[in-house]
A and B are shown apart, each in its own frame.
Chain A
């Protein structure tokens, strides 16, 4: 048992961003208690910190997961269209997919900020949405390629920017995701203040 051991500050900050304001104290207290009482003494600092970080990610809100799946589905739809129904000119598709992607990331930030009342949480939600979507998008594209890699599809992939683009494009949306999330979050937090909507804490009291 160690009363002074402390999990990484960044992980606690991330946990705060995932939770409703009223839940942070009790949830972080539960995790800290388990960290100090059981994990740290048994596994040491490094493993205990890793355990804490993995626990924090189990609190990623269903909303962020929803937006990440939506973003990923959009990316995979565009990828499949480019591979199987290649157009003569990619310009129109690019505009549509960019606008829809921007809208999704801004909506993720806006939603998170509305829930928490902080635009910074909108930025975190935007980057997390893009980050989680990157993993599922790359995995999805790899599965598509595993099933369909005939010469015609390979030519279409080359013409649409190559497989490298499919792998790198989702990853480079993480930073813009943070900016768009912050933008959506700022708009949402401002609207919430304007309407004087209180921050939610849904637990009925015993």
Chain B
């Protein structure tokens, strides 16, 4: 069975997939903020990426630096097969939970 993902982990993994070859720390942070529509701490995204890497859901490689970054390298992330399976499972679970219900929910209060 694939790993169970939290909502924030899904947001980070999907951002990595959307960004493709450009998925590095700052770009992922901006993508997550845009998709969630709120400010997100850089440390939260870093901790999540670290956790996902520990679980083998993402892998990373160091790229080159730029003058804007003071020459410091970017770390690029890529979702692994295990990460794709976890996302598919998360989507299937959500769809199963919602099946038969109309969205947005109305009249249940």
Contacts and interface: CB of A to CB of B under 8 A. Distances in A.
Interface stretch (A58-66, A79-87, A116-124, A172-180): A58-66
Contacts of A165: none
A60 B72 contact: no
Interface in A14-54: 23, 25-34, 36-37
Contact of B46 (A29, A34, A37, A59): A59
B60 A29 contact: no
Contacts of A55: 41-43
A193 to B, nearest CB: 25
A72 B41 CA distance: 25
A3 interface: yes
A202 interface: yes
Given A26-B75, A58-B43, A203-B53, A37 B60 contact: no
Interface stretch (B4-12, B61-69, B85-93, B100-108): B61-69
Contact of B50 (A31, A37, A58, A202): A202
Contacts of B94: none
Given A26-B74, A204-B56, A204-B60, A33 B41 contact: no
A59 B42 contact: yes
Contacts of B67: 3
Given A26-B74, A30-B24, A34-B26, A202 B68 contact: no
Most buried by A among B25, B59, B80: B25
Interface of B: 24-26, 29, 41-44, 46-47, 50, 53-54, 56, 59-62, 65-70, 72-78, 80
Given A28-B72, A33-B68, A55-B41, 16 more contacts: A26-B24, A29-B65, A29-B74, A30-B29, A30-B74, A31-B42, A32-B69, A33-B26, A34-B42, A55-B42, A57-B43, A58-B44, A203-B60, A204-B53, A204-B80, A206-B60
